[in-house]
Amino acid sequence: MPKLGMEPIRRDALIKATIAEIGQVGSLDVTVSQIAKRAGMSSALAHHYFGGKDQIFLAAMRHILGQYGGQVRAELAGAKTPRARLEAIIHASFAADNFHPEVISAWLNFYVQAQTSDQARRLLRVYQRRLHSNLVHGLRPLIGGRAQPVAQGIAAMIDGFYIRHALHEVRPDGPAAMAMVTEYLDLQLAG
Amino acid sequence: MPKLGMEPIRRDALIKATIAEIGQVGSLDVTVSQIAKRAGMSSALAHHYFGGKDQIFLAAMRHILGQYGGQVRAELAGAKTPRARLEAIIHASFAADNFHPEVISAWLNFYVQAQTSDQARRLLRVYQRRLHSNLVHGLRPLIGGRAQPVAQGIAAMIDGFYIRHALHEVRPDGPAAMAMVTEYLDLQLAG
Amino acid sequence: MPKLGMEPIRRDALIKATIAEIGQVGSLDVTVSQIAKRAGMSSALAHHYFGGKDQIFLAAMRHILGQYGGQVRAELAGAKTPRARLEAIIHASFAADNFHPEVISAWLNFYVQAQTSDQARRLLRVYQRRLHSNLVHGLRPLIGGRAQPVAQGIAAMIDGFYIRHALHEVRPDGPAAMAMVTEYLDLQLAG
Amino acid sequence: MPKLGMEPIRRDALIKATIAEIGQVGSLDVTVSQIAKRAGMSSALAHHYFGGKDQIFLAAMRHILGQYGGQVRAELAGAKTPRARLEAIIHASFAADNFHPEVISAWLNFYVQAQTSDQARRLLRVYQRRLHSNLVHGLRPLIGGRAQPVAQGIAAMIDGFYIRHALHEVRPDGPAAMAMVTEYLDLQLAG
DNA sequence: AATGAATGAGGATTCATTCAT
DNA sequence: GATGAATGAATCCTCATTCAT
């Protein structure tokens, strides 16, 4: 039953199905058919809307990254002090929406994807730069010249907790991870 | 002349070729043929020795994990104080042999593999447990009850630096990463 | 405003787009979508008007053949002597409109099409018979019984020049080709 | 039952199957599977030996062109006078082996292929140049400066007869076609 | 021990065609 | 009349795996 304006709906469904499928399977070895079926359409339609598998993956990545970016911006908006800004970033990283098994798994897989695809790498680079600059921006007023390395330490720790949870060993525990990173921040500020 | 004892040589060549190939390609999408060619033999022989692609991957993983384990044990052997033990572990993690682009990339890919393959997951779990217990063993005498969470923080940071370097953005800088983790340790001990 | 009499306009646009597309691509591997887009409409509409891809091709063929037939008739109308009739046919074959790169290429492709499609074959057969009978009609008064074979020779030569130009090696040179065929005619008449 | 040295046998079988299939179907729209099945093997093996569909087509083209070239050389070897050389070329063109329904059809399709594929065009160009230079070589001693255009006329006529027979209207009649071309040659020499 | 030969299964992609609006 | 939506079928190609020698 073809209606008008289906494109954004279909694209959205496909993106979500892609993340869910990659998250569930735990690898990029998902077929377009699987994704399309999960999104409730034929694989041909998926190709029609995205042009190819790579584009689908990229769109899914953009979605996750955008989602995360939005969350960060939202939390940042209410933060008045540098310290609050830093906590906002850490908080956004482990918010329920992002620190979800499927999303974590997809995230890990996109890191792998970035090793092969230039566009994926570019996407991830942008995310990393933004995270870094956000952290530095919050750290500078507090620790000045040490902002750069400490930002790297925080970023590494965040990624580290993501990858550790990607193994599904334990149910993702956002608050605990958040506490660890915040503690690291506190130690650095106190030091 | 039918060479005796070729088997271990062949197996070893295949394992090294696997790591190199995965590292170079940057993904698990390497064919058995590619690996076999790099190892200087036919893909049929690779199958003959390992039974299948999965086994080859697993063997490569075991090799990397074993390599790392050996390095840790070696460094640990000369460490007399708890503090020295902790530094030994951190040092081993970023030693030149392990913190090599190809190895880092392979490492990341094995994390992905672990999401799909039970055996791979088991392998990785053993590595994580051992690392954790080693860290706790060194931390307990120094900070007692806080050993558990701090061990987790260190482990996360190590993994975080690995994944960050997997993107090839920068040439792996082992010493810098090591310094960051050591600093974290110092802060925790001082705190 | 529902335009009246759009059908013939649409059909015509599609036919011309088909010839242009085949000519440009150089093969029958053109999609209905390409043709429709070039004609400024949706592929669904193209199907609506013609019923299917085969019909579109057939219509394009009919168009080219009809075009050529019209040209021949027009030139024939002014020809009073048998010799003039023969020259008129040859002239029409290499007139600018027909001996155009795109048309030549389409022509060649329709020969191929005729090997697969019965209807296309029938169409081409009609063209060949008419050309043959036109030639014989002009030749008989001049050379009597030899009219049949000579007509075949002329026809072969015309087709030969078409196919040779289909390779795009040289810019189509109608006058030169025309001269060669006319010369052949002269030799036969003199012989 | 894998034996050694199968490659040339398989390749040969595939080339012949390709020509037969294209000839029978009458178009380049033959699948690799069809060709492979006709050659008695899996499509995967066809890909293995040739790398892809295009390569298969090219190899088939090379085969036909080579076959024809060989025939020409063979006939040319026994020709002592210029006139004999010209007849040898014409004869070779319509020899039973070349002027075979399947081969004629394949030939026509390769002309089409040449419009799309650069390599195919190059192949055909070589054939055309060689034919042309062979003809000129034979004509020059007899008619001097007119050798060039007459060579073109002969070549066009040969191609014309090929294309006319590609429609399967009549059983290929090599001798008749040969007679027509030879007659054209005679007229030119006499003129 | 070692390999060339061979294939079945599977996946991305394309496209003619249909249909509801 | 006109089109966006949708798909089934087909095709090229890849690859892990097996087997006879």
Contact A191 B188 (CB under 8 A): no
Question: Does D180 contact C at CB distance below 8 Å?
Answer: yes
**Per-residue pLDDT tens over the stretch D118-157:** 999 999 999 999 999 999 999 999 998 999 999 999 999 9
Distance C117 CA to F2 C1' (A): 30
In this predicted structure, what is the pLDDT of residue C102?
87
Report the pLDDT averaged over residues B163-170.
78
**Per-residue pLDDT tens over the stretch C137-172:** 999 999 989 999 999 999 999 999 998 888 766 777
**Per-residue pLDDT tens over the stretch C80-136:** 999 999 999 999 999 988 888 888 899 899 999 999 999 999 999 999 999 999 999
Q: Which chains touch B (3 or more CB pairs under 8 A)?
A: A
Angle, in degrees to the nearest 10, between helices D82-93 and D118-143: 150
Distance C31 CA to E18 C1' (A): 17
In this predicted structure, what is the pLDDT of residue B98?
80
The four Cα atoms D24, D25, D31, D35 give a dihedral, to 10 degrees, of -10
Q: Contacts of residue C164 in chain D, CB cutoff 8 Å?
A: 128, 155-156, 159
Distance between start and end Cα atoms, chain C: 67
Best A115, A131, A154 member to test B by mutation, with max B CBs in 10 Å, is A115
Question: Does B121 contact A at CB distance below 8 Å?
Answer: yes
**Per-residue pLDDT tens over the stretch B72-100:** 999 999 999 999 999 999 999 998 888 88
The rounded distance, in Å, linking the Cα atoms of D148 and D130 is 13
Q: Do chains B and D touch (3 or more CB pairs under 8 A)?
A: no
- Gyration radius (Cα) of chain C, Å: 18
Confidence at C191, pLDDT banded by 50, 70, 90: confident
Four-residue CA torsion sign, A153, A159, A165, A166: negative
**Per-residue pLDDT tens over the stretch B126-154:** 998 999 999 999 999 999 889 999 999 99
Task: Scan residues 31-50 of chain D and list those with Cβ within 7 Å of strand E.
Answer: 41-45, 48
Contact C115 D167 (CB under 8 A): yes
Report the pLDDT averaged over residues B3-29.
90
Is B34 exposed, middle or buried (CB count within 10 Å of its CB: 0-12, 13-18, 19+)?
A: middle
Nearest chain A CA: its distance from B31 CA (Å): 14
Cβ–Cβ under 8 Å, residues A141 and A165 = no
Nearest chain C CA: its distance from D115 CA (Å): 5
Which stretches of chain D score pLDDT less than 50?
Answer: 1
Cβ–Cβ under 8 Å, residues D22 and D60 = yes
Local structure of residue C40 (DSSP, 8 states): T
Cβ–Cβ under 8 Å, residues B136 and B151 = yes
**Total-model pTM:** 0.92
Question: Does D185 contact C at CB distance below 8 Å?
Answer: no
Question: Does D126 contact C at CB distance below 8 Å?
Answer: no
Which residues touch D13 (CB under 8 Å, ≥6 apart)? D39, D40, D41
Residue among B7, B59, B4, B14 at smallest CA distance from B40: B14
Which residues touch C12 (CB under 8 Å, ≥6 apart)? none
Report the pLDDT averaged over residues B12-17.
97
Token pair 């994926």 is found at A120
DSSP for chain B reads ---TTHHHHHHHHHHHHHHHHHHHHTSS---HHHHHHHTTS-HHHHHHHHSSHHHHHHHHHHHHHHHHHHHHHHHHHT--SHHHHHHHHHHHHTSTTTS-HHHHHHHHHHHHHHHH-HHHHHHHHHHHHHHHHHHHHHHHHHHGGGHHHHHHHHHHHHHHHHHHHHT-SS---HHHHHHHHHHHHHHHHH-
Which residues touch D128 (CB under 8 Å, ≥6 apart)? C164, C167, C169, D155
H or E, element range at A176: helix A174-190
Q: Is the pLDDT of residue C4 over 70?
A: no
Contact A149 B180 (CB under 8 A): yes
Minimum CA–C1' distance nucleotide for D45 = E6
**Per-residue pLDDT tens over the stretch C48-82:** 999 999 999 999 999 999 999 999 999 999 999 99
- Gyration radius (Cα) of chain A, Å: 18
Instruction: Give A41's Cβ-side CA count (13 Å radius).
Output: 23
| Type of residue found at C174 | G
Token pair 């530094």 is found at B87
Nearest chain A CA: its distance from B6 CA (Å): 35
Point out the residue nearest to E9 (C-alpha to C1'): D44
Question: Does B149 contact A at CB distance below 8 Å?
Answer: yes
Cβ contacts from C onto D, under 8 A: 117
